[in-house]
Amino acid sequence: MTVPPTAAADQIVRLTLRVDALERERKQLLALLDLLREISGSLHYVDIVQTVARRLGNAFGLDRCSVFLAERGGGAVHLVASYEDPGIRNHVVDLSRYPELRRALETGEVVNIPDATRDPSLAGVFAVLTSRRVQSITVVPISWRGAAIGAIFLRTFKDGAELADQEVEFCRVVADLTARALRQAHHFERLRTTKGGGAAAVSAERERAAMLGFLRRFLLAFGDRDGAWDEGLLARSSTAELDRLVGVALTVVSNEAQGK
């Protein structure tokens, strides 16, 4: 059976589109693997967010790609990484200038604005967006256990293509990986702080426990002996010997506290 030229041409077009889609998926998977390898190897949140902003900005040729993190309990929102300005580290932002960011943080949902200069929610910043030749804005929340702890902000140039659904989904996966990496970094920092700041306190507490145990046993053994508390009867040499024994006892207590 001969396939009509028109049908054959349609099949070729569909196959070409499918091959292109598969190639995009392959590249995105490779990009995800590279990103995961890089951020999972870092235990500092600054390195993590800078990596995410840089890689997404390069991958999509964005006008702007930024990472924002929110304080607990609805506190201030901080710009912690920026593709176009890598020097930014911790800048408190005014959410009245970013209604799309506020909406993403409050709802925990992706906010996608195909034409930023015509969206009513951005009416207050039309002039700024127009001067910067902004086309589309996409804000992807960074969520952990159902709560938005931050967001990835992506902005495209005027006359450029808005992010496709597949690209937005890619950013959602990146946001999820970012949340996990940030929690890991936070856990590491808290553990390091606890070990560093609390080690001395734990050691002192153990020394106190060992000292109390030593004194309790010592008093029980000798406290009831006749003349045990009449230290004035001791010779000076005996007093010096007591000081020496106290020093030895303190050394033993310290070693006991350290598990030696």
Sequence ranges of the domains in the chain: 8-191, 200-257
pLDDT computed for residue 180 by the predictor: 87
Residue 189's contacts (CB-CB under 8 Å, 6 or more residues apart) are: 43
Q: How wide is the angle at C-alpha 156 spanned by C-alphas 102 and 94, nearest 5°?
A: 25
Give CATH superfamily name and number for 8-191.
GAF domain (3.30.450.40)
Residues of the chain with pLDDT under 50: 228-229, 231, 233-234
Spatial strand order in the sheet of 147-157:
91-92, 77-82, 64-70, 147-157, 134-144, 111-113
pLDDT computed for residue 70 by the predictor: 93
CA 260 to chain centre: 38
Give the SS3 label for residue 194.
helix
pLDDT computed for residue 50 by the predictor: 92
Q: For residue 82, what are its two tokens?
A: 């920026």
pLDDT computed for residue 132 by the predictor: 82
Q: What is the pLDDT of residues 95-106, one digit of tens each?
A: 988 999 999 999
Sole residue written with tokens 């010592």? 218
Strand partners, 147: 144
Provide the whole-model pTM.
Answer: 0.65
- Regarding beta strands 111-113 and 64-70, do their DSSP bridges make them parallel or antiparallel, or are they unpaired? unpaired
Residues in the chain: 260
pLDDT computed for residue 142 by the predictor: 96
Q: How wide is the angle at C-alpha 249 spanned by C-alphas 247 and 253, nearest 5°?
A: 120
pLDDT computed for residue 138 by the predictor: 95
**What is d(CA 68, CA 91) in angstroms, rounded to the nearest whole number?**
9
**What is d(CA 90, CA 46) in angstroms, rounded to the nearest whole number?**
9
> DSSP assignment, residue 142?
E
**What is d(CA 177, CA 72) in angstroms, rounded to the nearest whole number?**
20
